[in-house]
Amino acid sequence: MKKIMQLVVAGVMGGLIVLLGIHRFLPERTSDVPEHTVTNPIARTVSNVPLKASFDFTAAAQKATASVVYIQAQESDALASQKMKRYRMNPFEGTPFEDFFNGQMFGNPSYGAPLYKLKGSGSGVIISNDGYIVTNNHVVDFADEFEVTLADGKKYKAELVGKEPSADLAVIKIEADDLPAVEYGNSDDVKVGQWVLAIGNPFGYLTSTVTAGIVSAKGRDLGIIKGDRAIEQFIQTDAVINPGNSGGALLDVEGRLIGVNTAIATHTGYYNGYSFAIPVNLMRSIVDDIIKYGSYQRTSLGIYVMPIDDEIQQNLSLDTKNGVYIDELVQGGAAQFAGLLPSDVIVQIDKKAIKTIKDLHNAIAMTRVGDIIQVTVIRNNKEKTIPVKLTKAL
């Protein structure tokens, strides 16, 4: 028994010596089990760099909400009467039956027929301390009487300063001082994916509503503004807007105006996921003219242009079809005076790429009469940049 105990003790001691030796002299082994099932969580951060975007929009909302107003627009009795006369003309006018049918079948308001006055509402943004307000043309175009309600509830009558249907912009003015004008941002600096805020008055009763989203795309041409001279280069966002938000503010996270909310993509008439705003840089170029001159002063390069087709590409040995081909110059126009030539291909304006005629129109729309722009053309297979002083379009 004594010998057995000695063997057991010797075995235990030998085992301990072996274990201590392994721990001391062999390298440490790692587990074959996947790392996240041993000690680490499944989800983890991939960077410790602080995020640059602010997810607290309270400061931006407080800063800008006071600059967004509620606009009620309607036809006056006089305008409604003119409309009825225009659309319900008496076919018997100038005959013995004229007086009999006036006011009976054809609703002549002078005979007591009811006036049907159009009414609507939308949003606007205060852009100057002395009362100038920008909004969409479609908010005010049908009306001649306007009432503006500020965020603090004060109400003012407003007058139409001017409008530009081709860009769906208009300016109205109230008589007031020391108003909270919005701070301008720079829409050229807007990036796809950045956070934005929308402030407006959806449905006419949810006043001063703030929503948030991101920029989904830039430079959208939707074809919703009619006419050959339409100017469209919308900022697309997924910030929620609805009827009544038109003319309201699209803002960056610092509360600076980067666009005027104008439209939504929808099959129902209500928000379906995407909304569109006029870039503030385009808005300013048009609105400044409206305030100064009463209307938008279009600029002109003085050229007739064509898209680059296969024949032009081959004749000029061009690498791509990107660019705009100058087919003809206007006599005495800005381009002729600056030295542009027929067969030049415009590829840049102020270092911004011009790939299509629409790009050219949009670039010129951002300018003012008298501006000097740098036009880069391809001539004889070489790039040449020519300064052009813009003139007023006829």
Q: Determine the average pLDDT of the residues in 296-308.
A: 93
The answer to whether the 69-174 and 187-293 domains have the same CATH topology is: yes
Q: Determine the average pLDDT of the residues in 328-338.
A: 94
Give the pLDDT of residue 93. Answer: 58
Is 76 considered catalytic here?
Answer: no
CA-closest candidate to residue 104, choices 117, 95, 92, 116 = 92
Give the pLDDT of residue 272. Answer: 78
The answer, yes or no, to whether residue 30 has pLDDT greater than 50, is no
Looking at the chain, the whole-number percentage of residues with pLDDT higher than 90 is 63
Catalytic residue among 168, 289, 344, 359: 168
Q: Determine the average pLDDT of the residues in 73-98.
A: 70
Is 267 considered catalytic here?
Answer: no
CA-closest candidate to residue 175, choices 153, 159, 154 = 159
- Taking only the tens place, the pLDDT of each residue in 181-201 is 999 999 999 999 999 999 999
Q: Which fold has domain 69-174?
A: Thrombin, subunit H (2.40.10)
CA–CA separation, 317 and 382 (whole Å): 11
Give the pLDDT of residue 10. Answer: 59
Is residue 117 within 8 Å of residue 74, measured between CB atoms?
Answer: yes
Neighbours of 171 (CB within 10 A): 27
Phi, psi of 312 (to 5 degrees): -65, -45
CA–CA separation, 283 and 273 (whole Å): 24
Catalytic residue among 216, 246, 275, 285: 246
- CATH 3.90.170.10 for domain 299-392, yes or no, is no
Domain boundaries, the chain: 69-174, 187-293, 299-392
Give the pLDDT of residue 116. Answer: 77
The answer, yes or no, to whether residue 91 has pLDDT greater than 80, is no
Give the pLDDT of residue 41. Answer: 45
The answer, yes or no, to whether residue 115 has pLDDT greater than 90, is no
- Taking only the tens place, the pLDDT of each residue in 240-249 is 999 999 999 9
Give the pLDDT of residue 289. Answer: 94
Give the pLDDT of residue 17. Answer: 58
Q: Which CATH superfamily is domain 187-293 in?
A: Trypsin-like serine proteases (2.40.10.10)
The answer, yes or no, to whether residue 29 has pLDDT greater than 60, is no
Is 168 considered catalytic here?
Answer: yes
DSSP per-residue letters across 218-253: EEE--S-S-STT----EEEE-S---TT-TT-EEE-T
The answer, yes or no, to whether residue 36 has pLDDT greater than 50, is no
- Taking only the tens place, the pLDDT of each residue in 360-374 is 988 998 898 999 999
Is residue 373 within 8 Å of residue 367, measured between CB atoms?
Answer: yes
pTM value is 0.76
Catalytic residue among 67, 121, 123, 138: 138
- Taking only the tens place, the pLDDT of each residue in 337-363 is 999 999 999 999 999 999 999 899 889
